[in-house]
Amino acid sequence: MLILLNNRAAKILGALIKAFCYLFYWVMPKKRFIIPSYSSPKAKQKVETKIPKTIWQTNFTNRVTLPIYINYLYNRLMSLDWEYNYVSTEERLAYIRQHGTEREIAAYERLTNGASQADFWRLFVLNREGGVYMDIDAHAVWPLSRIIKPHEEQIILSRPKDYTNYFIASAPNNSLLQKVINRIVENIESDNKDNKNVYGLTGPGVLNEIIGEEEVNHRSYKITCIQGSFTNEYFQYMDRPRTKWTYAKNEDLLK
């Protein structure tokens, strides 16, 4: 009940912040804030967990509007004993070139859409390093160290009818994540023969396909992580209007 109340409080606070920010950007349309590439833990880690206490995020830029920056600050409040890593578009590519197989590298380099690249990279970095991935507009609704139990090796975020990938928590060497990566590579190597959109080519559609009827350790989004409390498409893509993945044409997703 406390988590659900905090969920609701964040949404109310976020609505007020968004209303203020419309006025803020009417007065100062060019003002941006910098998300750091790394932020060290602000509190001592009290309990060891199988899932490393590392947060991973990515975006097309770390120069963001005030709502996105407030979302980042809220996540840091929910993860005081965690380290934080922001990874740029260029750094994602370099990381996969350094650590990926030839097939994984070749597949990733064919992706033209930033959201698809982020879909691929989040699975890859979690499978190799472990930690928690959250989309740039997502935030935890309760401290991560209370959400994630010491013995847990993965948490998949569940919604009423499916699983989603805007939040994933995992220990390294996760066989489920590797299966999803392999299927994404196959989708790309087939030249997207089924004409899938971002959701089906690299996104949650692949995750749901691989999980199927299998039982996985999951947790409802309502008591874990939600999107859009502090921001929306306008503030997230202010410098690149109409570039959200939903606008991408299926035939343009691969080189």
Q: Give the CATH number, domain containing residue 95.
A: 3.90.550
What is the reported pLDDT for 134?
A: 98
Question: Is 254 part of any domain?
Answer: no
Across residues 208-217, what is the average pLDDT? 96
CA distance 60 to 36: 14
Q: Does residue 251 fall inside a structural domain?
A: no
Whether 249 is in a domain gets the answer no
Is residue 45 very low, low, confident or very high in pLDDT (cuts 50, 70, 90)?
confident
In a domain, 212, yes or no: yes
CB 67 within 8 A of CB 138: no
Neighbours of 199 (CB within 10 A): 18
Q: What is the pLDDT of residue 46?
A: 81
What three-state secondary structure class fits 84? strand
Give the per-residue pLDDT at 39.
Answer: 98
Element (H, E) at 64: strand 63-64
In a domain, 93, yes or no: yes
Q: How far is CA 183 from the centre of its chain?
A: 19
Look at residue 255 and tell me if it is in a domain.
no
Number of domains in the chain: 1
Within the chain, residue ranges assigned H as helices are 2-27, 66-77, 89-99, 102-110, 114-128, 144-147, 175-189, 198-201, 204-211, 233-236
Domain annotation covers residue 41: yes
Residue 248 included in any domain: no
Task: Provide the domain limits for residue 214.
Answer: 2-243
Quick: pLDDT tens for 74-113.
999 999 999 999 999 999 999 999 999 999 999 999 999 9
Average pLDDT (144-165) is 96
